[in-house]
Amino acid sequence: MDGKKRKNIQLDLTVEIVQKHHQRSGELTKGIVKRILTKSSNHPHGIKVQLQSGEVGRVKNVLT
């Protein structure tokens, strides 16, 4: 699913994010959504979330 639309992101959902310092390399981090930080309904680079591990980044993939 698309990580650019807020309606696709829910708490306790498993996602892959790219952290700020990994944007150039595109390295993805897998985790479970703890908080949704982006307020707008969509964002061109992905919705910003905080994972349960505490890492913050933009959602690239929503895993089912």
Q: What is the pLDDT of residues 23-61, one digit of tens each?
A: 999 999 999 999 999 999 999 999 999 999 999 999 999
- Whole-model pTM? 0.92
The predicted structure's pLDDT at residue 2:
85
pLDDT band for position 19 (50/70/90)?
very high
CATH of the domain at 27: 2.30.30
User: Domain total for the chain?
Assistant: 1
Question: Phi, psi at residue 50, to the nearest 5°?
Answer: -110, 130
- Flag whether pLDDT at 1 surpasses 90: no
In-domain check, residue 28: yes
Residue range of the domain that includes 22? 6-62
CA angle 20, 39, 12 (to 5 degrees): 75
The answer to the question of residue 1 being in a domain is no
User: Look-up: residue for tokens 């908080």?
Assistant: 35
